[in-house]
Structure 1
């Protein structure tokens, strides 16, 4: 099976030659270009953006990191040449560097990874290489921050393209969350009830900035992943009357619903509105306050796609990520983290048809890895994660060859003052095992 990037190149070429009637479709022909084109466009415009793909319509904050210009030699190099240079650099560096590749990364990069997994698995994988001088994280910004928090002080965490951010993570910023917290404390107070539960506890998804993880650590809160969100919410409800969950509303809603929290006790907090768009009594009656954030990849999935999959493939197993909207999760056969999805397909003993609701690079890779099954993405339009797609073999070759030359570029560092509280929240998460 060809990679997602190859499919996009072919579709874009066919559409140019034959028009919109060409077989297959992608959400943006710009995906066929090199990511350095977007780096240049942002530099010329002076305005950051997420780039083509699922998050193209999301507005990037002014402070979003931008990538400088990739040296021309890496832009002009063929795939074969870049591969040779990456392998040569890896050989020269040996155990001094470890490359981490997220499930959603393009195949052309993931083939060089020493470890492949979700954000938390990769941060833990880095801990198995304490002697590595550099951790090259082929993922997005918040993942590299987490790796920096959990790794040794003398280890450099490198993000090959600084523009590889996360629009969901950017939907909750430290100032907005702090303002929300102040308003909630005015309404709820700070005194615990007769059972010792505080009025409200902050819970942040792993897909958030280090500053928000630190906020949770400082205020008695915790971090969760998509695999342990239920355990974390149970932990939080033992300690608090209600939870402020950010930045992903869908993971929070789906998890709380599975725990039996009525929908009427879940409120949405829109940071652009007074009291988040709620009245005081509704907040007092709430058990979960959900931030107005979402993943643009998983927002693309809908019930109509599931209905079509069931019509086209009777007996199909539909598995979606819990970042999908509630009606999609309800209509699926099961929902779980990227690791859950991978394990579900690996565990199938008989040839099975799977319709998957998560990022296309991972789905495509699972289809190739398990040819005995039929595995396809619920969304027929090829639309990868915009920011993961900003990392290309050219950037990986560049950062590795700079390391060989004794130079560290694109280092991600988290301030000590932030690290301490963020590590506290992460350690609480580690203790909350499903």
Structure 2
């Protein structure tokens, strides 16, 4: 879908929860507080400061703001050709088409983390995604490689819902309930820890390091089940953050009852639970969510089934549990892609995930009817900050021998974070 068609549909959409200023270019709002226009007004979560707030850039150089699309794409292609194997561009499934057309690899966070490892000869890794993804690429890359995020304002509101201080405080309270040393948990007579931390990929490098230092692991939506199985071999319980919905949907599919999945609200003592409730818990779910996937509803699925008898519905596991239960299938972005790939001509498929990916699938399979469950165009507002202007800027700087918008994770964080990430990479999804 072109930028023009997105803009038109947003302006016509009769809704109060999708911000029409998404039609503006990202440099118009990059330096403003919050996460910018786009997916939902719920993107801004009071009480949590963005983890990358200090990384906000200045304005994109004026010359790039004035260039038309044709010139920007020409400059990107020429810079790529000049840099050759010294460069690799990674593009997330949710990225806008104008950007992913230049990517060497397109995938979900798990795939792109692996893809970066396949190009050790690349001197620069340009990550067209969001901040936590670029941090992960820096942790996994070699010391000689430079990781670049074209727009430093591309953060993630879900990732910011679990900040380091809040998780540390929660861990100390949890340790008191379960009776272990928060700095050095020890296994019991059964050889298991009282609780083990699991962080979703959508989290800061500091929280990945937190997990690495405490025997924990990182998961993605692709391998969440494998990771929880890994965790239960080593511990009686899991502290899962920041996305409550992925944790709940994954654990429920594994047979864990809902009453053993208390929510942990970091703004309340003991997360809003009693010590007795926590004793019975199998999964402590952090009070976080993705504002894009939270928009999907059972009513939307019912409407799709009424209007399209025989429709197949697949949603992302970041959606609320009732939505996942009402769908035919749930899976990661790559699982959604494979689901569509395995479908047949004339099939009708309703998808509950970010609109850029849905539109791309619809264009790739024109002999099928593929549409987004949510009738309102609400892209991931932070992913949308990566614009061809920013990509052209950082690539031409590389040609000139300059590195702009480099993401560097300090060694004290990178070392333990890599432990948790290596465990994630070893936990291959089935």
Shorter-chain TM-score category?
over 0.9
- For residue 89 of structure 2, give the secondary structure of its aligned residue in structure 1: strand
Q: Confirm or deny: 8 A CA contact 1:25 1:381 kept in the other structure.
A: no
Deviations 1:140-164 (A, max 9, x none): 0000000001110110000000000
* 2:183 corresponding residue in structure 1: none
Q: 1:346 offset after TM fit, Å?
A: 0.5
Deviations 1:298-350 (A, max 9, x none): 00000000000000000100000000000000000000000000001101234
* 2:4 corresponding residue in structure 1: 6
* 1:161 corresponding residue in structure 2: 151
* Correspondence for 1:431 among 419, 422, 426: 426
Distance 2:268 2:364 in 1: 47
* 2:364 corresponding residue in structure 1: 369
* Correspondence for 1:134 among 120, 124, 137: 124
Does structure 1 residue 61 correspond to structure 2 residue 79?
Answer: no
Distance 1:247 1:9 in 2: 31
Gaps of 5+ in 1: 43-47
- For residue 240 of structure 2, give the secondary structure of its aligned residue in structure 1: strand
Distance 2:154 2:231 in 1: 31
Q: 1:26 offset after TM fit, Å?
A: 8.9
* 2:265 corresponding residue in structure 1: 270
Output aligned runs, 1:172-187, within 5 Å.
172-187=162-177
- For residue 223 of structure 1, give the secondary structure of its aligned residue in structure 2: strand
* Correspondence for 2:64 among 74, 94, 112: 74
- For residue 433 of structure 1, give the secondary structure of its aligned residue in structure 2: coil
* 2:340 corresponding residue in structure 1: 345
- For residue 239 of structure 1, give the secondary structure of its aligned residue in structure 2: coil
* 1:233 corresponding residue in structure 2: 228
Q: Confirm or deny: 8 A CA contact 2:17 2:41 kept in the other structure.
A: no
Give the direction of change, closer, same or farther, for the CA distance of 1:90–1:25 in structure 2 (3 Å limit): farther
Q: 1:28 offset after TM fit, Å?
A: 2.1
Give the direction of change, closer, same or farther, for the CA distance of 1:387–1:245 in structure 2 (3 Å limit): same
Deviations 1:8-34 (A, max 9, x none): 222356x4xxxx78xx99922211111
- For residue 51 of structure 1, give the secondary structure of its aligned residue in structure 2: coil
Q: 1:238 offset after TM fit, Å?
A: 1.3
* 2:378 corresponding residue in structure 1: 383
Distance 2:219 2:244 in 1: 13
Does structure 1 residue 189 correspond to structure 2 residue 189?
Answer: no
Distance 2:169 2:19 in 1: 37
* 2:286 corresponding residue in structure 1: 291
- For residue 36 of structure 1, give the secondary structure of its aligned residue in structure 2: helix
* 2:330 corresponding residue in structure 1: 335
Does structure 1 residue 35 correspond to structure 2 residue 26?
Answer: yes
Distance 1:124 1:380 in 2: 34
Gaps of 5+ in 2: 181-185
Q: 1:358 offset after TM fit, Å?
A: 0.3
Which contiguous aligned blocks of 4+ residues in structure 1 show a shift greater than 6 angstroms? Answer: none
Of 317-326 and 192-201, the range deviating more from structure 2: 192-201
CA RMSD of aligned residues (A): 1.6
So what's the TM-score if we normalise by structure 1?
0.94
- For residue 203 of structure 1, give the secondary structure of its aligned residue in structure 2: strand
- For residue 89 of structure 1, give the secondary structure of its aligned residue in structure 2: helix
So what's the TM-score if we normalise by structure 2?
0.95
Distance 1:322 1:10 in 2: 30
- For residue 167 of structure 1, give the secondary structure of its aligned residue in structure 2: coil
Q: How many residues align?
A: 419
- For residue 136 of structure 1, give the secondary structure of its aligned residue in structure 2: strand
Q: 1:194 offset after TM fit, Å?
A: 3.2
Q: 1:123 offset after TM fit, Å?
A: 1.9
Give the direction of change, closer, same or farther, for the CA distance of 1:26–1:364 in structure 2 (3 Å limit): farther
* 2:195 corresponding residue in structure 1: 200
Q: Confirm or deny: 8 A CA contact 1:8 1:26 kept in the other structure.
A: no
Q: Confirm or deny: 8 A CA contact 1:215 1:421 kept in the other structure.
A: yes
